[in-house]
Amino acid sequence: MTQEELKTPFTPNWCPGCGNLNIWAAFKNAAVQEGWDNTNTALVAGIGCHGHILNFVKLTSFEGLHGRALPVASGIKMANNRLNVFAHVGDGDCLGEGGNHFVHSARRNHDITVLLHDNTLYALTTGQTSPATERGMKTKSTPAGNPDDPVYPLAWAIASGATFVARAYSGHMDKLMNLIIEANNHKGFALIDILQPCVTFNKVCTHAMYQQNTYYLGDDYDPTNKKEAFMKAYEFGEKKIPLGIFYREEKPTLEEGYVQIAEKPLIDNEPKLEGLTDLFKKYT
Ligand code: SF4
Q: Inter-axis angle of helices 153-160 and 99-108, to 10 degrees?
A: 40
Measuring from atom 1 of ligand 1, which residue has the nearest CA? Answer: 18
Dist. CA 98 → ligand 1 center (Å): 20
CA of 261 to the centre of ligand 1 (A): 40
Total residue length of the chain = 284
Ligand 1 geometric centre to CA of 226 (Å): 34
Q: What pLDDT shows up at residue 271?
A: 66
CATH number for the segment(s) 3-282: 3.40.50.970
Rounded Cα distance between 229 and 34, Å, is: 29
Q: What is the pLDDT of residue 263?
A: 82
* Separation in Å, CA 245 to CA 30, 167, 194, 230, 278: 18, 7, 12, 12, 54
Helices 19-34 and 173-185, interaxial angle, to 10°? 50
Question: Ligand 1 centre and the CA of 53: distance in Å?
Answer: 12
Ligand 1 atom, smallest distance to 20 CA: 1
> Looking at residue 237, what is its pLDDT?
86
* Ligand 1 atom at minimum distance from 50 CA: 7
Q: Model's pTM, two decimal places?
A: 0.94
Could you state, in order of their start, the residue ranges of all structural domains in the chain?
3-282
4 alpha carbon – ligand 1 mean position (Å)? 25
Q: How far is the CA of 151 from the centre of ligand 1 (A)?
A: 21
Nearest protein Cα to ligand 1, atom 5: 123
Each residue's pLDDT expressed in tens, for the chain with a length of 284 residues: 899 999 999 999 999 999 999 999 999 999 999 999 999 999 999 999 999 999 999 999 999 999 999 999 999 999 999 999 999 999 999 999 999 999 999 999 999 999 999 999 999 999 999 999 999 999 999 999 999 999 999 999 999 999 999 999 999 999 999 999 999 999 999 999 999 999 999 999 999 999 999 999 999 999 999 999 999 999 998 889 999 999 999 999 999 999 988 888 988 877 666 667 777 677 66
The pLDDT of residue 156? 98
Ligand 1, residues at Cβ distance < 6 Å? 14-15, 18, 20, 49, 119, 123, 198-201
